[in-house]
Amino acid sequence: MGAVKLDGLDLRYPDGTHAVRDLSLAVDDGEFMVLL
């Protein structure tokens, strides 16, 4: 398998509202993670 890494993720709606601001996440090989 592999790993997943997000660093500084931003998501904005067209009106400028932030849905996600500066998200950083690391999931290494063998780890279990659920995102709701």
Q: Residue 1 and residue 29: Cα distance in Å, rounded?
A: 6
Report DSSP letters for 1-36, one per residue: ---EEEEEEEEE-TTS-EEEEEEEEEE-TT------
Q: List the domain range (segments joined by +) for residue 17.
A: 1-31
Report if residue 36 sits inside a domain.
no
Domain count, the chain: 1
Give residue-wise pLDDT tens across range 1-36. Answer: 689 999 999 999 999 999 999 999 999 999 999 988
What is the pLDDT at residue 1? 66
Report if residue 26 sits inside a domain.
yes
Beta bridge partners of 27: 4
What is the pLDDT at residue 2? 83
pTM of structure: 0.59
What is the pLDDT at residue 29? 92
- Of 11, 30, 7, residue with least CA distance to 21: 11
